[in-house]
């Protein structure tokens, strides 16, 4: 690298640093490297085409002023842009782009040419400009620490979450992985950490994203050949919260890009918060290099709340809703609904709705009726694994065959029936069902459900399959 180029660029940076916000300088100018000074042309290297487009769109004036100040009116700027073509090669290459502003200063200041590239910036979220519009955190302010009730079942996770919120990226809890079963408060706790960080550190960029949305954004970036832009966007985040990270299992391309994003954030002292329905050791089809990084920080399990915690959760919910309910009814709900917080609140909401709409009192007979129905409905839910075993046995094949890639008609139909019943009998998302039944995507599951419905109406034999399996699955 030319020493003259470094000296000129350092002087330009000194001027730029005094005229823009510190966060903008850190994000958009610190990563730039001076490459070459040839006559009146200074070549600088930037991390991506997205980076180059952003500088040309938002900082062309100040760049021009800085260059003319150091090099004279004929100063030119050339970008050496790192390009990444994910289709043809894993090895990045560079392409040179001249700055679009080559006109000299006039008496009013800088003349901006009319041919500046005005293409829409390619990133997963629409951001007209960091200084004008902040990146939306996607956080739900209703999920906070004040209404996250602490108990023995979640004390470790909550305490770690508060420590992270007080010093994001500055504790040994990086990443913080929160895991546990459905309805135990993983998403609530993840949001609460993010909300608290935004309150304490408003200048930090916090982003909450579900793993399913992250996967879809990545797929879109590959299709549009903007994978590098996608990576750079996420590398700008100060606190990244990824919900249901287990959905990355089996998605090799997404795991690879997440690995690079994770490394960049971790190495630069940024905070990563993850949630999962299982511990790292139980995440199948997840790359070992990712699993090892998930274990770098703290893995905190959320367990089913004990009786005292369930009482506190119910009382807190009633207090927030301004509802007064007899203590014996609260105790009855807490004693009979033991699985998760979501079901606890579900019974309470049903109780309030019944009493309000039907003008009934909060009585034990009423709560017994609601709890009995709720427990009965809950017991109907079966696991996706069980559904696959029942369907496989019915069609005299093993589960491995059911999940295979074969397109033989009877195996395809068996697989579609398994997806259909998983959609009907579980609360799992389409993506989760597809992931567990042969690593398919959500669109395949949706197609399977439509196919089963159509064949049930038009094919007598297929309708018999549905009826027989319905009985075997005890509907």
- DSSP-derived secondary structure for 382-444: --HHHHHHHHHHHTT--HHHHHSS---HHHHHHHHHHHHHHHHH----HHHHHHHTTS--HHH
Kindly state whether residue 140 falls inside one of the protein's structural domains: no
- For residues 127 and 121, what is the distance between their CA atoms, to the nearest angstrom? 8
Are residues 196 and 165 in contact, defined by beta-carbon separation less than 8 angstroms?
yes
Using 50, 70 and 90 to split pLDDT, how confident is the model at 166?
A: very high
Residue 133, both tokens: 């519009």
- Supply the range of the domain harboring residue 76: 3-98
Kindly state whether residue 265 falls inside one of the protein's structural domains: yes
Kindly state whether residue 128 falls inside one of the protein's structural domains: no
Phi, psi of 422 (to 5 degrees): -65, -40
Mean pLDDT computed over every residue of the chain: 80
292 and 178 assigned to the same domain: yes
Distances (CA, A) of 59 to 17, 119, 342, 451: 12, 16, 49, 53
- The DSSP symbol for 225 reads T
- Give me the sheet containing 33-38, strands edge to edge: 33-38, 41-46, 76-83, 93-98
Are residues 399 and 386 in contact, defined by beta-carbon separation less than 8 angstroms?
no
280 and 149 assigned to the same domain: yes
Among the three residues 34, 66, 98, which one is the final residue of a domain in this structure?
A: 98
231 and 343 assigned to the same domain: no
Using 50, 70 and 90 to split pLDDT, how confident is the model at 196?
A: very high
319 and 395 assigned to the same domain: no
Indicate which CATH number applies to the domain containing 440.
1.10.1750.10
Are residues 50 and 228 in contact, defined by beta-carbon separation less than 8 angstroms?
yes
Using 50, 70 and 90 to split pLDDT, how confident is the model at 84?
A: very low
Indicate which CATH number applies to the domain containing 325.
1.10.8.60
313 and 421 assigned to the same domain: no
User: Strand 271-276 relative to strand 176-180: parallel, antiparallel, unpaired?
Assistant: parallel
**Higher per-residue pLDDT: 90 or 254:** 254
Kindly state whether residue 120 falls inside one of the protein's structural domains: no
Range scoring the smallest mean pLDDT among 81-85, 141-145, 368-372, 461-465: 81-85
298 and 149 assigned to the same domain: yes
317 and 292 assigned to the same domain: no
Q: What pLDDT shows up at residue 38?
A: 87
- For residues 179 and 280, what is the distance between their CA atoms, to the nearest angstrom? 9
- For residues 397 and 368, what is the distance between their CA atoms, to the nearest angstrom? 43
Using 50, 70 and 90 to split pLDDT, how confident is the model at 19?
A: confident
Kindly state whether residue 114 falls inside one of the protein's structural domains: no
Q: What pLDDT shows up at residue 129?
A: 38
Q: What pLDDT shows up at residue 474?
A: 67
Using 50, 70 and 90 to split pLDDT, how confident is the model at 418?
A: very high
Using 50, 70 and 90 to split pLDDT, how confident is the model at 150?
A: confident
22 and 156 assigned to the same domain: no
Kindly state whether residue 106 falls inside one of the protein's structural domains: no
Among the three residues 74, 98, 122, which one is the final residue of a domain in this structure?
A: 98
pLDDT at 466 > cutoff 60? yes
Indicate which CATH number applies to the domain containing 74.
3.30.300.180
349 and 444 assigned to the same domain: no
Range scoring the smallest mean pLDDT among 94-98, 250-254, 355-359: 94-98
Q: What pLDDT shows up at residue 89?
A: 39
149 and 298 assigned to the same domain: yes
Kindly state whether residue 121 falls inside one of the protein's structural domains: no
Using 50, 70 and 90 to split pLDDT, how confident is the model at 310?
A: confident
Are residues 249 and 283 in contact, defined by beta-carbon separation less than 8 angstroms?
yes
- For residues 355 and 344, what is the distance between their CA atoms, to the nearest angstrom? 17
186 and 280 assigned to the same domain: yes
Total number of domains constituting the chain:
4
Kindly state whether residue 388 falls inside one of the protein's structural domains: yes
Residue 273, both tokens: 């918060």
pLDDT at 106 > cutoff 50? no
Among the three residues 320, 351, 379, which one is the final residue of a domain in this structure?
A: 379
295 and 311 assigned to the same domain: no
Averaged over 327-339, what is the pLDDT? 82
The per-residue pLDDT for range 117-138, each reduced to its tens digit, is 333 334 444 433 333 334 678 8
Using 50, 70 and 90 to split pLDDT, how confident is the model at 242?
A: very high
């Amino acid at each position: 690298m030319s020493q003259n180029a470094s000296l000129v660029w350092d002087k330009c940076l000194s001027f730029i640093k005094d005229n823009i916000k510190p966060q903008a300088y850190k994000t958009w100018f610190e990563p730039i490297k001076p490459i070459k000074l040839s006559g009146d042309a200074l070549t600088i290297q930037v991390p991506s085409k997205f980076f180059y487009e952003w500088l040309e769109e938002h900082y062309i004036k100040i760049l021009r002023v800085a260059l003319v100040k150091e090099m004279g009116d004929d100063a030119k700027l050339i970008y050496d842009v790192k390009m990444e073509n994910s289709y043809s090669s894993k090895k990045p290459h560079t392409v040179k782009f001249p700055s679009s502003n080559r006109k000299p200063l006039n008496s009013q200041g800088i003349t901006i040419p009319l041919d500046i590239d005005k293409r829409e910036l390619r990133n997963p979220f629409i951001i007209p400009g960091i200084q004008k519009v902040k990146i939306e955190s996607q956080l739900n302010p209703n999920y906070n620490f004040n209404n996250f009730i602490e108990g023995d079942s979640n004390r470790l996770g909550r305490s770690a979450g508060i420590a992270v919120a007080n010093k994001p990226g500055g504790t040994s809890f990086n990443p913080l992985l929160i895991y546990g079963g459905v309805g135990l408060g993983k998403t609530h706790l993840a949001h609460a950490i993010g909300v608290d960080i935004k309150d304490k550190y408003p200048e930090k960029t916090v982003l909450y994203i579900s793993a399913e949305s992250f996967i879809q954004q990545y797929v879109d970036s590959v299709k549009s050949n903007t994978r590098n832009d996608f990576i750079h966007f996420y590398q700008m985040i100060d606190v990244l919260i990824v919900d249901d990270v287990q959905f990355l299992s089996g998605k090799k391309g997404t795991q690879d890009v997440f690995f690079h994003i994770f490394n960049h954030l971790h190495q630069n002292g940024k905070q990563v918060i993850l949630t999962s329905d299982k511990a790292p050791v139980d995440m199948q089809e997840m790359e070992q290099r990712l699993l090892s990084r998930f274990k770098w920080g703290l893995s905190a399990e959320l367990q089913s709340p004990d009786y005292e915690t369930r009482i506190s959760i119910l009382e807190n919910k009633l207090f927030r809703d301004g509802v007064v309910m007899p203590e014996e009814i609260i105790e009855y709900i807490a004693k009979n609904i033991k699985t998760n917080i979501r079901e606890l609140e579900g019974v309470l909401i049903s109780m309030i709705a019944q009493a309000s709409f039907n003008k009934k009192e909060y009585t034990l007979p009423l709560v017994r009726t609601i709890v009995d129905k709720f427990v009965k409905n809950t017991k109907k839910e079966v696991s996706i694994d069980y559904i696959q075993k029942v369907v496989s046995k019915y069609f005299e094949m093993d589960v491995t065959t059911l999940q295979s890639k074969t397109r033989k008609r009877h195996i395809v139909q068996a697989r579609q029936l398994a997806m259909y019943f998983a959609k009907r009998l579980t609360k799992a998302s389409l993506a989760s069902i597809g992931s567990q039944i042969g690593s398919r995507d959500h669109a395949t599951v949706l197609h399977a459900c439509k196919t089963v419905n159509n064949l049930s109406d038009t094919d007598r034999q297929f309708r018999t399959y549905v009826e027989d399996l319905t009985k075997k699955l005890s509907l």
